[in-house]
Copies of this chain bind each other. A is one copy, B any other.
Amino acid sequence: MEVNTGIEYFNEPLYLESGRILPNFKLAYETYGRLNNDKSNAVVVCHALTGSHHAASRYKNDTKFGWWDAMIGDGKAIDTTKFFVICINILSSPFGSTSPLDIDESTGLEYRMNFPVIVISDVVNAQMRLFKKFGIEKAYAVIGGSLGGMQSLCFAIEHNKFTDRIIMLASTYATSAWAIAFNKIAIHGILNDIMFDDGNYDVNLVKKHGLVGMEVGRMAGHISFLSPDSTSLKFGRKYVNTDGLYELKGRFEVDRYMEYNASNFAKRFDPLCYLYIVKMMNNFDCTRHFDNLKDALSNILARLTLISFKGDMLFRWQEMREIFDVMVELGKGDMVEFYNINSNYGHDAFLVEYDKFDFYVKKALEWKI
């Protein structure tokens, strides 16, 4: 499989939904496979909250594969012998695309807290510019899970001639108060962390130590990605060997797991970028510029495949089902498929239990117009 990683610089303004303007911007991306001659085999894969454009393969000397390596590759569900797969790092993310840590030309300083709030529609608009540079006028399919699913739905509604196939996993049409509540822990923790210093923190110091506010936020995220069943199955009530049951600071295995993950994450993921992306997730509501969900979905021309997971605590399957029901109500029943997968993994299932849904992704990609 051919893999290419790059950064594309756009020396042109991006007009944002907020009314603000990015005078120029850059997008980091990765591609897998080869674009065919008529540029008709591009499959756009949209990443989630903390993901990146590194969706598949493994970098030299790296132990970890891209976040959807099990799905993308030669002979896999998203078959790179057929498709040219492209994954683009979202704006605001710390992995290469324009983010709050970049230089604001108007001041010559880093944006930091002056970075504009970016919404899903902006992310998608920016991506459209990159496809244009590639000469891709129409994608074969767009696919994404979680925050990536929001991007997919946005493509379907706001760029409805861009593709004939949309696949959306573990996502929603509008972030619920419940999900916003989970995100609040990170927002509150980060904004009130002394080290955060209203966004003026020392980046290297944060990379070394991590913010406590980011750690607790990540813990809340972890909980929302899991499920009661998977957590109990994985950890039970096992106590850390070296800790005492009657020590105040003694930990259960689940405590240690959360500590370990939160600590690593806080060093790896910039807290200001996290704030901006969480804001992006909270703001997502595909009906904002429409009368209601029906009105919004009436714009969809592509065939929509919805894959939800029964144990998903963050974006519940009922929310995906609502999209399906409205599509049917709109007389588009033959253009929508809904699969509700049994899984103990909660929201994380779309990153873990491939064998339960890769067949449906493959099937959706095989659909002929």
**Chain A residues at the B interface, C-beta cutoff of 8 Å:** 17-20, 113, 115-117, 119, 174-178, 180-182, 184-185, 187-189, 191-194, 212-213, 215-217, 219-220, 222-223, 226-228, 231-232, 234-237, 245-250, 252-255, 258-259, 262, 275-276, 279, 282-283, 285, 313, 316
Interface contact A231-B191, CB-CB below 8 Å: no
Interface contact B213-A188, CB-CB below 8 Å: no
**Which residues of chain B have C-beta atoms less than 8 A from A232's C-beta?**
176-178
Interface contact A192-B215, CB-CB below 8 Å: yes
Interface contact A223-B177, CB-CB below 8 Å: no
Interface contact B248-A117, CB-CB below 8 Å: yes
Interface contact B185-A185, CB-CB below 8 Å: yes
Q: Say how far A274's CB is from chain B's closest CB, in angstroms.
A: 11
Interface contact B180-A219, CB-CB below 8 Å: no
CA distance A222 to B232 in the complex (A): 21
Chain A residues touching B, majority SS: helix
Q: What is the chain B residue whose CB lies nearest that of A16? A: B246
Interface contact B283-A220, CB-CB below 8 Å: no
B17, B174, B187, B188: the one within 8 Å of A246 (CB)? B17
CA distance A250 to B280 in the complex (A): 12
Interface contact B213-A212, CB-CB below 8 Å: yes
Interface contact A254-B215, CB-CB below 8 Å: no
Interface contact A176-B249, CB-CB below 8 Å: no
Q: With A184-B258, A246-B20, A246-B117 in contact, do A236 and B177 touch (Cβ < 8 Å)? A: yes
B174, B176, B252, B285: the one within 8 Å of A180 (CB)? B252
Q: Apart from A177-B252, A185-B219, A188-B259, what 13 extra A-B contacts exist at CB < 8 Å? A: A177-B234, A177-B237, A178-B223, A184-B258, A187-B255, A189-B212, A189-B216, A193-B212, A194-B194, A213-B216, A216-B216, A245-B283, A250-B279
B20, B181, B223, B250: the one within 8 Å of A254 (CB)? B181
Q: Which 7 A-B pairs have the closest CB atoms?
A: A18-B246, A177-B235, A178-B228, A177-B254, A192-B212, A117-B246, A178-B231
